Amino acid sequence: AQRVTQPEKLLSVFKGAPVELKCNYSYSGSPELFWYVQYSRQRLQLLLRHISRESIKGFTADLNKGETSFHLKKPFAQEEDSAMYYCALKSRAAGNKLTFGGGTRVLVKP
């Protein structure tokens, strides 16, 4: 069975400090990983996906198949980064469903 784990429920950092959100997954096939973000009073939206190898709003994430991880990083956190972040895995074998982690709340303090 596939599973996504986000070990930190809350990450509190100061503005300008680096932030790293951990995501580990278990899946027997070839995974497709995503990070979704939900800002206050807004809907869940895609932040980035591993196949695009892109940097969005200064965030990057690298898929490490050996460690089965997809950690999200930003070198200098901004106050507008305060939000709920969800790591998700897509499985073609299970109807293309997204399996989400429990989420990490990021609070960036001034």
Name the site residues for other proteins (rule: CB under 8 A): 4, 6, 32, 34, 36, 43-46, 49, 51-52, 86, 88, 90, 92, 94-103
**Nearer Cβ to other proteins, position 28 or 42?**
42
Quick one: how far is CA 22 from the chain centroid? 7
How near is the Cβ of 97 to other proteins at its closest, in Å? 4
Using DSSP, state whether 23 is helix, strand or coil: coil
**Nearer Cβ to other proteins, position 41 or 110?**
41
How near is the Cβ of 76 to other proteins at its closest, in Å? 27
How near is the Cβ of 48 to other proteins at its closest, in Å? 11
What does the radius of gyration of the chain's CA atoms come to, in whole angstroms? 13
Query: Of 91, 99, 98, 81, nearest to 37 (Cα)?
Result: 81
